[in-house]
Structure 1
Amino acid sequence: MLAKVVRSWGAIGVYALFLGWAAFTLYMDYTAPGRIAPELSQALERDGKANVDVDLPFTPSAFHVQALQQFGTIRRMRGQTILMRGVTKAQVQALARDVFWIDRLRLSVPASQIQEI
């Protein structure tokens, strides 16, 4: 009886969903460090908090801004980048691991250091 239940289509569907979720989680854990720029990691080790530029592969909508607000304070948006203020190391790691649509997390450059071309 138990063998029949384990081999049923419903059980196979549950197994497939679990394997898909596990594969996605492993992928996100494996690729997360590559989304964090080295200078951001250094600044977080040194200062504990940093202003972060979150680069996206698209122009963010209200949904994306609200999703990122779980991880810190949104300063402003500029094109395909959302600027966040006072983000901790744990928050940066969570962003890189949990939000699959982020391309890159960079250390935000203060406006006084931006050079016009």
Structure 2
Amino acid sequence: MSMLRDAIYSTRGKVVIGVITAIVGWQVWLSVAAAGKIGEGIPQEGRRVDVLVTLAFPPERFHIQKFQKLGRVSGTKENSVQVRGVNRADLKALARPFWVLRVEPLT
């Protein structure tokens, strides 16, 4: 127990604890913020929905590939990506990345 206490109170131990706390805090914040990014008006019926995902910048290949894991990307326009056939249970996962501003129903 003495070795553990010494490790925790050392400078290196404090840095490790600080980094772990920051990573866990960031992940919690991303999860909490995801719910607020999902817009009103997404149909409640059906298991799959079509959505428009808005980013803070024009999407690049990386972003398109991430969205394709959750649905079919059917097009992009300026800072938005059309994703079709998204499982309703995956909406929060779609909205979770920090670079996603909004997830709205595709009209």
TM (normalized to structure 2)? 0.88
Distance 1:10 1:65 in 2: 39
In the TM superposition, 1:1-117 aligns within 5 A as 1-2=2-3, 3-40=5-42, 43=43, 45-97=44-96, 99-109=97-107
Q: Identity, % of aligned pairs?
A: 25
- The one-letter code matched in structure 2 to 1:105 is V
1:113 aligns to what?
A: none
Distance 2:62 2:82 in 1: 15
Distance 2:10 2:70 in 1: 41
- The one-letter code matched in structure 2 to 1:106 is E
The structure with the largest helix share of the pair is 1
Q: Tell me, which stretches of 5 or more residues in structure 2 are unaligned?
A: none
Q: Tell me, which stretches of 5 or more residues in structure 1 are unaligned?
A: 110-117
TM (normalized to structure 1)? 0.82
Q: How big is the alpha-carbon RMSD for the aligned residues of Structure 1 and Structure 2? A: 1.3
The structure with the largest strand share of the pair is 2
Contact residue 72 and residue 91 of structure 1 kept, 8 A: no
Contact residue 51 and residue 83 of structure 1 kept, 8 A: yes
- The alpha-carbon deviation at position 65 of structure 1 amounts to 1.0
- The alpha-carbon deviation at position 33 of structure 1 amounts to 1.4
- The one-letter code matched in structure 1 to 2:9 is R
- The one-letter code matched in structure 2 to 1:89 is R
Number of equivalences: 105
Distance 1:9 1:67 in 2: 38
Q: Deviations over 1:89-116 (max 9, x none)?
A: 111121123x11100001001xxxxxxx
Q: Deviations over 1:20-48 (max 9, x none)?
A: 112112212221111001111xx1x2122
